[in-house]
Amino acid sequence: MATTLPQLLTAEEYLKLPDNGRPSELVRGQVIEMNLPAPRHGKICLRIGALLTNFVESHDLGHVVGNDSAIVTTRNPDSVRGADVAYYSYNRLRKGRLPDGYLTVVPELVVEVLSPDDRWSDVHTKTAEYLKAGVSIVCVVDPKTESVQVSYPDEPSRTFAKDAELTFPEILFDFRVRVAKLFE
């Protein structure tokens, strides 16, 4: 008996799917449903987004997006990941209103906040996917340990405890925040 492989979707086909009320991502052409995060996850995402937005807007540097905004990370087969928070400088994405649909560029910074059901193996895979796509910095925020793991394309990742200061001088010159502030 012949087995049939599931039809792989492109990013464009995935974008046109009706909203079934469940969060999902497109991973190597297949739709993967996820659980809704708990309110603490949302609070941490919102805090990070607010801190970045305040800094970015006060220095007129770029765009900060959140709420699982789509990032196309691979093609053939396509993957579309949803970043909790992402920063695009005006060098990558011009000033003004963002276009409808998926963007053709990746952000400089992606922040992912762990949910209790996230597996580290999946998080590392997603981080590597972002970096390979051209994201400069990926931060994985761990509410359980109140720490942040920061990954770069060509360096080992570093973990910052809650008493450490988080900075991104390569892309956000003067931005700095104590890790503990993310969890207040």
pLDDT by residue (tens digit) across 7-61?
A: 899 999 999 999 888 889 999 999 999 888 899 999 999 999 999 999 999 999 9
User: Is the CB of residue 87 less than 8 Å from the CB of residue 77?
Assistant: no
Helix (H) or strand (E) holding 89: strand 79-89
Looking at the DSSP assignment, which residues form a beta bridge with residue 144? none
pLDDT, one tens digit per residue, over 51-96 is: 999 999 999 999 999 998 999 999 999 999 999 999 999 999 999 9
Query: Which structural domains are found in the chain, ordered by start?
Result: 36-183 (3.90.1570.10)
